[in-house]
Chains A and B, each alone.
Chain A
């Protein structure tokens, strides 16, 4: 028998179930414990800690000095830490996702850019014009997916773009229209001020 083969054999007095070396069971348990801790336990603890509904007047900052006010009563999908590229909030089955980034072009061009890379939904209907409470001009269009519908919004100012998607089951989406409109109106370029 070669040294390599001999070296792989577990001495009989250390065998567990006839094959595994009991001396290394603790080391394997450490590995399994670390994997469970980070992949299962901590996410479960995070999930279990109650997440309060967003309070009125909350301002969430995004990158590129963009901010918006999530509607009161909605809940974050993962508490935003620092300036985020994107933030998602939920309420009653409706999702609102907003993202900021660098973009040189018009709101219509951003709308086309975002929808051209999106496989999850399709765009339907005309592109409409709208503006934020800060009077930043934007564009919006309707979207639909396999079992949801919604709207896609885009705004640009001074090389910064903001896209937002509100989607959910059609029967639920209608009840949140006012909140979504409020969040769109609250988008501010150039800081939370």
Chain B
């Protein structure tokens, strides 16, 4: 594989560039910081009265913290190329949980619902208001954060895959902070007389529907935005259409869940089917380019025999290819060893990308580590 192809893959992927948050010369940094700080103040204001209900507040935080763990595990585990920096994911989470929720979505939702009630009718606002308000207000609020992440890390947010994962973290932040509000509001609504019961019952309800909630919607929308940013070989019109399509899909799926009152509940089936199908499609769509880059970066090592062709196929193939490769190994011990070898090979690709030097000390050390892991057999 030529050095030019490798350099091109590195440049396209942006994997060589670190993420810096503090960029005082970048207006995007100030917009992000201002709105997230505003969200933090608004959230503090909301949470302050909860000092009167410490049991509910602590229980809510604990339950939501535990609830978040499988999401975080899933998102990071699914990121088998392990390229998304933690710093960027945290920035997305903070935008979703603080700025998007409390600075943009809450006042926006309240205002639009009130306008419906005044201009159309209270009944219309109660039934069709949520599906005609929240998807538009909330999805655009979270999307704005994804655009800011791109402006803060232009050299890193470069693919549908980046957009999908950062969207998932941004949506997760929104979802958890919104859930906190729901859980504690239920306590206040019942005069604080049944704190544990109110928190747990609301948590169960929100937890079940949460599987098809903000993390999923924003992952979908983010995949489209990432494609728009990264697929520069395609026309602007094509990229715009793809990005708009993903955002629209996210809004429709979101709206179908919020239309439960208006439709008598049948739209929830659409949420589950379209949400599941949509995220699987988006994942496959987003992963393609990622797999190609890995293949380019490791091509020389396959030629040199550091990595076998089968290992490269498992590493750059679809998830089922990887599973089939591991399953073909004789026994669980061998499969686990093969999985570790694939992990070390992915690390090697990351080191080559980070330094743009397949023969530099980082790559050499990664190859030595790969050899060590391979010898553990």
Most buried by A among B23, B111, B117, B185: B111
Q: How many residues of A contact B (CB 8 A)?
A: 47
A101-B189, A119-B52 known, 4 other contacts, Cβ within 8 Å: A38-B104, A38-B137, A38-B141, A80-B122
Give bound CA distance, A42 to B104, whole Å. Answer: 10
A20, B26: Cβ atoms closer than 8 Å = yes
Chain A neighbourhood of B191, CB < 8 A: 99, 101, 103, 110, 113-114, 117, 161, 163
Most buried by A among B52, B117, B140: B117
Q: Taking the complex as formed, is A37 at the interface, i.e. its CB lies under 8 A from any CB of chain B? A: yes
- 7 A–B contacts, CB within 8 A, in A order: A27-B151, A30-B147, A43-B108, A79-B118, A101-B191, A102-B193, A119-B49
Q: Taking the complex as formed, is B113 at the interface, i.e. its CB lies under 8 A from any CB of chain A? A: yes
Q: Taking the complex as formed, is A7 at the interface, i.e. its CB lies under 8 A from any CB of chain B? A: yes
Interface residue stretch chosen among A45-53, A128-136, A168-176, A178-186? A45-53
Beyond A49-B115, A119-B52, whether A39 also contacts B122 by CB under 8 A is: no
Give the residue of B25, B117, B154 whose beta carbon is less than 8 angstroms from that of A81: B117
Chain A neighbourhood of B20, CB < 8 A: 8
Give bound CA distance, A39 to B119, whole Å. Answer: 20
Binding site for B on A (CB under 8 A): 3-4, 7-8, 19-21, 24, 27-28, 30-32, 34-35, 37-39, 42-43, 45-46, 49, 51, 63, 78-82, 85-86, 99, 101-105, 110, 113-114, 116-119, 161, 163
Give bound CA distance, A119 to B53, whole Å. Answer: 12
Beyond A28-B31, A42-B108, whether A102 also contacts B190 by CB under 8 A is: yes
Q: Taking the complex as formed, is B194 at the interface, i.e. its CB lies under 8 A from any CB of chain A? A: yes
Give bound CA distance, A124 to B23, whole Å. Answer: 55
* Contact string against A for B residues 295-315, beta-carbon threshold 8 Å, 1 for contact and 0 otherwise: 000000000000000000000
- Kindly provide the distance from the CB of B209 to the nearest chain A CB, expressed in whole angstroms: 18
Beyond A8-B155, A101-B190, whether A79 also contacts B27 by CB under 8 A is: no
Chain A neighbourhood of B129, CB < 8 A: 81
Give bound CA distance, A173 to B362, whole Å. Answer: 76
The A-contacting residues of B in range 32-52, CB under 8 angstroms, are 35, 49, 52
Chain B neighbourhood of A161, CB < 8 A: 190-191, 193
A8, B17: Cβ atoms closer than 8 Å = yes
* Contact string against A for B residues 187-218, beta-carbon threshold 8 Å, 1 for contact and 0 otherwise: 00111111000000000000000000000000
* Contact string against A for B residues 238-267, beta-carbon threshold 8 Å, 1 for contact and 0 otherwise: 000000000000000000000001000000
Give the residue of B17, B143, B148 whose beta carbon is less than 8 angstroms from that of A4: B17
B108, A20: Cβ atoms closer than 8 Å = no
B126, A35: Cβ atoms closer than 8 Å = no
Give bound CA distance, A7 to B17, whole Å. Answer: 7
Give the residue of A7, A63, A105, A116 whose beta carbon is less than 8 angstroms from that of B16: A7
B35, A35: Cβ atoms closer than 8 Å = yes
A35, B144: Cβ atoms closer than 8 Å = yes
A43, B104: Cβ atoms closer than 8 Å = no
B193, A38: Cβ atoms closer than 8 Å = no
Give bound CA distance, A31 to B117, whole Å. Answer: 28
Give the residue of B23, B118, B126, B185 whose beta carbon is less than 8 angstroms from that of A82: B126
* Contact string against A for B residues 170-200, beta-carbon threshold 8 Å, 1 for contact and 0 otherwise: 0000000000000001000111111000000
B144, A34: Cβ atoms closer than 8 Å = yes
Beyond A30-B147, A102-B194, whether A117 also contacts B53 by CB under 8 A is: yes
B112, A42: Cβ atoms closer than 8 Å = yes
A39, B115: Cβ atoms closer than 8 Å = no
Beyond A43-B111, A49-B115, A102-B194, whether A79 also contacts B103 by CB under 8 A is: no
